Structure 1
């Protein structure tokens, strides 16, 4: 990954309860790590010879937005202009399922327009990611 020219962000619905915000960010981050394993650094050892697993090698800001804006942003990400971006989404449907099998079965019967997105992770060329998310504030 070219850190000079690429950027990753996570955007969450700021109006969700804190636990759902945390859960959304964690799920997006895990999936992002699966899709970009090269972004995770090697394990490290501290001064006392204790091992610590590698973490991501660059910052991933967590931004806040509204459900409506996240939905609009997700729609834009389907456009040809943004197809090269890596996009991870997490929706109400996914959050409400107890098993992955339940999730996959329900998704096959749900139109995209019916999904309420709790969050998105976007990774790709810095200019395109910033064009889409540069006006969003940090979640604090």
Structure 2
């Protein structure tokens, strides 16, 4: 099975929040997906360069409604084998992880506003969900 990774980020966010959302999603992908980060390499002078992603990660544009719809589709059994990272307004509006835990526990799924998602898994399934979305530019 060929694997694919994409991010979908709300294009209506300010540039700083888009960057922050991408960074948060990427950190979690790097932590959770074994092999997505390559080993340290050496350049021609023998200097080390810490490993970077071994997988292209296109960043696609959406808006808060499209991202919420996409997130809701990911709860279906058909897509249960995809790895999903979501980043919400609950995370963006708290100052510590403890506050985030407390805040998100009081919100229903319908109350969350999604700033971005990262998907990783079977290329056909990822394309089925995101193939019509344009690149964030």
Shorter-normalised TM range: over 0.9
| 2:133 alignment partner in structure 1 | 136
Q: With the length of structure 1 as denominator, give the TM-score of the two structures.
A: 0.95
3-state SS of 2:54 partner: coil
| 2:107 alignment partner in structure 1 | 110
1:24-56: CA deviation from partner (whole Å, max 9, x where unpaired): 000000001111131110001112222110001
- Give 5+ residue unaligned stretches, structure 2: none
Match of residue 33, structure 2, among 18, 36, 41: 36
87-96 or 44-53: bigger deviation: 44-53
Q: Describe how 1:2-41 pairs up with structure 2 within 5 A.
A: 5-41=2-38
Q: With the length of structure 2 as denominator, give the TM-score of the two structures.
A: 0.97
RMSD: 0.9
Match of residue 94, structure 1, among 91, 95, 102: 91
Q: CA deviation at 1:10?
A: 0.4
Where does structure 1 differ by over 3 angstroms across 4 or more consecutive aligned residues? none
